Amino acid sequence: MRGLGNILGLLVVAAIALLVYKFYFQKMGPEGTATPMQTIDVVGVKNDLLAIGQAERLYQAQHGNYASLDELNSSGAMSVTKTSRDGYTYEVQTTAADFHVIAHCPTATQPGCKDYSVDPSMEVTTAP
């Protein structure tokens, strides 16, 4: 009889864990509301943009010009070797005077997501 009580208690704990998962890790709000995992992904993307921006500044100080993402990786200027994260893809646009690093969001798999960018001001903004 005691074994049946232990099994019943385990089932109750499992049911509670399932409800917690449902309410905290699945989409709960109206359309466009980010889940906790999507929020974590966006924070990671913004951190990557800042790291790539810092690498651009370092590369420019050493070489006198800005570089492509491949050049940043191959030169060792960039500590982040990723060219994407969780569906977001990174693009670097350079001119003689400045750079723009853009994180393109995967709208096919994450409708309503936003593109982000960083420039020499090192401020991450929503890309137009």
Report the distance separating Cα 87 and Cα 17, nearest Å. 29
What confidence score (pLDDT) does residue 35 get? 66
Domain ranges of the chain: 1-30, 36-126
* Cα separations in angstroms, 24 against 20, 34, 77: 6, 11, 39
Full pLDDT tens readout for the chain, 128 residues: 667 777 878 888 888 887 777 666 554 444 455 666 667 778 889 999 999 999 999 999 999 999 998 888 888 887 666 677 778 889 999 998 899 999 998 877 777 788 999 999 999 999 87
Contact 92, 80 (CB under 8 A): no
Predicted model pTM: 0.68
